[in-house]
Amino acid sequence: MSVLVVGSVALDSIETPFGVSKETVGGSATYIAAAASYFVTPIRLVGIVGGDFPQRGHAFLEDRKIDLEGLEVVEGGKTFRWAGRYHYDLNERDTLSTELNVFETFDPKIPEKYRKSRVVCLGNIDPVLQLRVLDQIEKPRVVVCDTMNYWIERKNAELRETLKQINVVILNDSEARLLSREPNLITAGRVIRGLGPSVVIIKKGEHGALLLTDQVVFSAPAYPMENIFDPTGAGDSFAGGFVGWLARTDDMSEENLKRAVIYGSTLASFCVEKFGVEGLADLTYLQIQDRFREFRELSRFEED
């Protein structure tokens, strides 16, 4: 099934306890599309960059066979920039700056050939733009949406409008609490399902993820890692692995949603092993399969 990804394409400046990188290629759409590209190709990307977006950024996306017809380049404009610092506890991150730049006037135009995309993944951008994208798509089979505290706080009413049209929402635990105003994650999931999406996925950083539907509470373990260099993009890689698997299999059953969550966790685990998008640059499907199987062993035990 065809996959359309919409989101930010960015230049990120990141500080972790292990190193610093300046203006590295990032953005929600970049990570989602790169992760999903291991399951289906080409992934269609809609986003915007300035004329300053470097050649290495275009090359990375092209190498992953991502269709860039929907990537608008504003000559003379400045690419979206984000800067973040991770604490010693890598689950804790401070946003140092967000410069919207070309995003301030972004009006997503979905190319004609993308309009029948079956799977749509709305990366973390202004919920007003997310809705504008959906208005241009003809009957998608599944719409997955990511968001973050920045939008929950600044565009709450607009986000609630968007959520009415979403099948699957992916957020992290603190975002789920912020959106639902519920401290308990199971309750938060139920409240968020009441806003529209029938499936809620709550990511818990290095503690795994919860898949919540009206029938299922599935707790996916996190992959135990000793070498986490840079958690940036983990959430987006999760979303990319998740939608990639759904698109590859065209199966929305609850058992397959569970597999998709594990594929999401698998891609996130590869992402954080290296700085920026490097961890998603040249994996093999075999590596992904091997790690997917390791997840099963993580929580398998004998009854007696």
Asked whether position 10 contacts ligand AMP by CB under 6 A, the answer is: yes
The runs of H, that is alpha helices, within 3-43 are: 28-36
Q: Does 82 bind ligand AMP (CB under 6 A)?
A: yes
Q: Binding segment for ligand AMP among 21-29, 191-199, 213-221, 281-289 (CB under 6 A)?
A: 21-29
Residue 115 neighbours by CB distance under 10 Å: 13
Q: What stretch of H or E contains 271? A: helix 254-271
- In the shown chain, the binding pattern of residues 84 to 123 toward ligand AMP, with x for contact by CB under 6 A and - for none, equals --------------x-------------------------
Q: Which stretch binds ligand AMP (CB under 6 A): 15-23, 24-32, 35-43, 206-214?
A: 24-32
Cβ(4)–Cβ(46) under 8 Å? yes
If one asks whether residue 235 binds ligand AMP (CB under 6 A), the answer comes out as: yes
| Min CB(9)–ligand AMP separation in Å | 8
| Nearer residue to ligand AMP within complex by CB, 2 or 61 | 61
**270 is a site residue for ligand AMP (CB under 6 A):** no
Burial class of residue 105 (count of CB atoms within 10 Å of its CB; 0-12, 13-18, 19+)? exposed
**What gap in Å lies between CA 91 and CA 103, rounded to an integer?**
27
Q: What is d(CA 218, CA 207) in angstroms, rounded to the nearest whole number?
A: 13
Q: Which of 5, 15, 26, 241 binds ligand AMP (CB under 6 A)?
A: 26
Asked if residues 93 and 86 have their Cβ atoms less than 8 Å apart, the reply is yes
CB of 198 to ligand AMP, least distance (A): 23
Residue number, 232 or 265, with CB nearest to ligand AMP: 232
Angle, nearest 10°, between helix axes 173-180 and 185-193? Answer: 60
As measured in angstroms, the least distance from the Cβ of 272 to ligand AMP is 9
- Among the listed ranges 20-28, 157-165, 215-223, 281-289, the one in contact with ligand AMP (CB under 6 A) is 20-28
Among 120, 188, 211, 234, binds ligand AMP (CB under 6 A): 234
Quote the tokens at residue 240.
């990319």
Looking at the Cβ atoms of 171 and 262, the one nearer to ligand AMP is 171
In which residue are the tokens 């950083």 written?
205
Residue selected from 1, 58, 99, 150 as contacting ligand AMP according to rule CB under 6 A: 150
Residue 275 or 292 with smaller CB distance to ligand AMP = 275
Residue 302: exposure state from Cβ atoms within 10 A (0-12, 13-18, ≥19): exposed
Q: How far apart are CA 11 and CA 171, in angstroms?
A: 22
Contact 133, 122 (CB under 8 A): yes
How many residues belong to the site for ligand AMP (CB under 6 A)? Answer: 16
Element (H, E) at 220: strand 217-220
Positions that interact with ligand AMP (CB under 6 A): 8, 10, 12, 26-28, 82, 98, 124-125, 150, 232-236
